[in-house]
A and B are shown apart, each in its own frame.
Chain A
Amino acid sequence: MWRRAAVNGPWLSIRLVNAGFYDKGNMSRKLHARRIEGIDKNIWVEFTQLAADYKAVNLGQGFPDFSPPSFIQEAFCKALSGGFSMHQYTRAFGHPNLVKILAKFFSRIVGREIDPMEDILVSVGAYQALFCTFQALVDEGDEVIIVEPFFDCYQPMVMMAGGTAIYVPLKPKEGCGPVLSSADWVLSPEELASKFSPRTKAIVINTPNNPLGKVYQRKELQMIADLCIKHDVICISDEVYEWLTYDGTKHVKIASLPGMWERTVTIGSAGKTFSATGWKVGWAMGSGHILKHLKTVHQNSVYHCATAAQEAVAVGFQREYDVFGTDESYFCQLPIHLHEKRLRLADCLKTVGLKPILPQGGYFMIADISNLNVDLTDPSTKDDPYDYRFVKWLIKEKGLATIPVSAFYSPEHRDEFQKYIRFCFVKEDSTLQAAEDILRQWSDSK
């Protein structure tokens, strides 16, 4: 048969198809690249599907269920009806109007002249800015220190770049009684220092932190900065929740500390800033000599970001620049708006025996579930960590969606942190009310 096939040339393929030789996946060689090995699993895919399937009240994934502020929606509509150029490619590294206002806005905050063309890269959400950063700066054999708990994408991104993740945990301060606030979770200076080695390329910090809500104080950042300078390490500072701080807590930019601008990449997000996560506009900001490498990655991966959304974000920032620090500023109004929701949710969680840790900043609150005695005998989850099982039970039995916090820990430490679940409180009052009703019913039935 093969000899005949060889003689028959171009029609070989048709005959072999008819002979059933080309069933699905019949290629004999390994297809995928090694860089994607071990990074195919993802909690969001699993849990957002589950929440949708059970039509659960969704306090899981981190996005607002209220609308973005009207001034930003209007800016988008105006951009859409702008000239043809709003629908065609703009400057690859960032729409000029946007990078100029970002530079102006953040120069005032960081306390130095930021060059819009050299020191800023606009990306498809902060997620892509993180990707460009790791791809640009992390090589095989490089170590990257990640503070736990961490936004889950840092670890697979380090892996995909061929780096090795080294973890250091935030832990509740010893001897301070019941741990009630994210401020009580701290790094041990000795433990942190021990994680730096000659192979350390970067450290990733996230402030305000997801999922814990911790806002690093200046002296904590100084400790990290001292180590970065001593070991000549780059600091990747994920600050997407920078405007969401509560109880008078101040957000401090590590890039503004002495000696840090030259070695920090600061990541920001229009989605979190303007409650429009679906626009996927973010940025990386830092010294041009480092940013240029991120630009190389960007120009060889997506090249341009959507124009109209960038224009709308630029208009939003100009408006915020003009009203900065006043009551009118969205950056003042949103945290005030969320402050109460946060307290309300915390109170509600306490009534059912959950122990919330009040966040100083961000979108999320974690709660200790160890006091609850729930019968988690669902056989389909028996191999999952405890918090995964609890979350699935909560979705299926109570119709309330949350996220298990061990997903934000390294494989090495996951087992120690199985007793927390994460709630997003950036939701309409009606959503929070629905969640409260579920929790109250549950508490009453106990």
Chain B
Amino acid sequence: MNPIHLLRVFRSAPRILQTNRFRNFTSCQYKMASIKHKNTKRIEGLDKNVWVAFTSVAADPSIVNLGQGYPDIPPPSYVKEGLAQAAMVDRLNQYTRGFGHPTLVKALSKVYGKVYDRQLDPFKEILVTVGGYGSLFSTMQALVEDGDEVIIIEPFFDCYVPMVKMAGGKPVLIPLRLKSSSAATRVSSADWVLDQEELASKFNSKTKAIIINTPNNPIGKIFSRCELQVIADLCIKHDTLCFSDEVYEWLVYKGHEHVKIATLPGMWDRTITIGSAGKTFSVTGWKLGWSIGPEHLIKHLQTVMQNSLYTCPTPLQDAVGQGLLRDFELMGKPDCYFTSLAVELEGKRDRMAAMLRQTGMTPVVPEGGYFMIVDVTALNQDLSHMGDDEPYDYKFVKWMIKEKKLAAIPVTAFVGEDSVKEFEKYIRLCFIKQESTLDAAEAILKSWNKG
């Protein structure tokens, strides 16, 4: 219908309704109401979500849930105690500084000052947000708009694409690809790489930013210094920003090093780095995160913050600040939670990889993070009875939940349409789980081939 005609019709509707008492008032009202109660353009098509489909599964206690990424191990006791103490202080139950509670931003500037080897201004170069998620949102809303292209590396944490779209930007996807030289049975996340020429071809004058996630969710890849340098060179050449999601930065396994792209020459001034208390201290339910970057970028994120939720919860921020100060003193020592958690998880990682191999699946052993993707091709599971309107991994996960009582997440949830074929034989498992959960998973996997 001609939009101008439509506009005229709706403009004159109130007059028509007033003058013509014998028109069917209620049906006209309903038609008008249904248009005005529609969602705004910015969220068109963003209502669907893989978690909606799969997290209700978590409610069923008979299912071993290695799907959604949260620990079922307890957080360190000093962190919980810190919160209990904060809750008893009157002032800490009231509003704190909008851009981040002073205790917390000062602790962050200490910890990250050491990591970055630079002085970080706690008030101008740090913003505290509602989880890493909130940092991503503030970054997109502040720095991405209509006409901007944002490069996203597949597989990606699923919120990047809808957030870019909601900000009016256009996601430009590029997949990690399995090196053909990798061994058939011992695959590591390091074997998944970007094709440099392909990456360079994605940059153009409209590119506003590239999003990187290291360690990566779901593959667990840690981008090496060389790989980051290639990305950095392109950012500098094309004058783009870099949004670096580093929420799993402490979960780095032996033989690997987490490198911050913001520390590469020329990158500090164009990079926002995102961190998470939830992932750092195994308290995902605290929903605290932070963005670190140069003042001229952080100030825009702060503007979004002050116009969206203003301030984060005070007692939680205080407790995270206290926790960070405690671990700052221990940095580099085995007692430091940042180190000890990684050591604990490496054991679980290796255990999970072994369990999966003995069923015939091929796990991709992650260099970091707490997820592992696994190739289920060798199982030759026939799922043709489930129809062909979904990618194979979605069907496989649903089948596995029903038949094997084991939950995972399909990896094509983390890729665009064009890359579905490359990833549809992979499912993602979370291994930050207590031993009894892993025992239960092992029992299922051991009896897999017995049907």
On A, residues with C-beta under 8 Å from B are: 9-10, 12-14, 16-17, 22, 24-29, 31-36, 39-40, 42, 44-45, 48, 61, 63-68, 73, 76-77, 80-81, 84-90, 92, 123-125, 127-128, 131, 135-140, 153, 156-157, 160-161, 198, 201, 230-234, 262-263, 275-280, 289-290, 292-293, 295-297, 299-309
Contacts and interface: CB of A to CB of B under 8 A. Distances in A.
B308 to A, nearest CB: 5
A229 B283 CA distance: 46
Interface stretch (B233-241, B250-258, B373-381): B233-241
Contacts of A10: 229-230, 233
B80 interface: yes
Contacts of A27: 239, 241, 269-270
A88 B142 contact: no
B233 A160 contact: no
16 contacts: A9-B233, A10-B230, A13-B264, A17-B265, A22-B266, A25-B296, A35-B145, A45-B306, A80-B84, A84-B73, A139-B40, A278-B94, A289-B37, A299-B47, A302-B131, A304-B131
B283 to A, nearest CB: 5
A92 B239 contact: no
B233 A13 contact: yes
A66 B313 contact: no
A362 to B, nearest CB: 16
A135 B42 contact: yes
B407 to A, nearest CB: 15
Nearest to B134: A302
Find the residue from B162, B283, B309 having the highest chain A CB count within 10 A: B309
B88 interface: yes
A136 B304 CA distance: 16
Interface stretch (B64-72, B336-344, B357-365): B64-72
Given A33-B144, A80-B84, A88-B71, A304 B287 contact: yes
Contacts, number: 257
Nearest to B167: A33
Contacts of B303: 32, 36, 39-40
B307 A131 contact: yes
B131 A303 contact: yes
Interface stretch (B28-36, B175-183, B186-194, B323-331): B28-36
B14 interface: yes
Interface in B281-308: 282-287, 294-297, 299-300, 303-304, 306-308
Interface in B110-142: 130-131, 133-134, 137, 141-142
- Counting contact residues on chain B (CB < 8 A from A), the size range is 35 or more
B143 A32 contact: yes
Interface of B: 10-11, 13-14, 29, 32-33, 36-43, 46-47, 49, 51, 68, 70-75, 80, 83-84, 87-88, 90-98, 130-131, 133-134, 137, 141-145, 159, 162-163, 166-168, 229-230, 232-233, 236, 239, 241, 264-267, 269-270, 282-287, 294-297, 299-300, 303-304, 306-316
Given A127-B310, A279-B315, A73 B40 contact: no
A88 B84 contact: no
B294 A24 contact: yes
Given A87-B283, A90-B285, A160-B307, A65 B90 contact: yes
Nearest to A157: B307
Contacts of A32: 142-143, 300, 303
A277 B94 contact: yes
Contacts of A25: 269, 294, 296
A124 to B, nearest CB: 5
A92 B134 contact: no
Contacts of B40: 135-139, 161, 293
Contacts of B162: 300
A273 B36 CA distance: 32
A80 B312 contact: no
Contacts of A263: 33, 37
A128 B313 contact: no
Contacts of A65: 90-91, 94
Find the residue from B14, B68, B93, B283 having the highest chain A CB count within 10 A: B93
Contacts of B230: 10
Find the residue from B39, B241, B284 having the highest chain A CB count within 10 A: B39
Contact of A12 (B33, B42, B233): B233
Given A25-B269, A27-B269, A135-B42, A303 B159 contact: yes
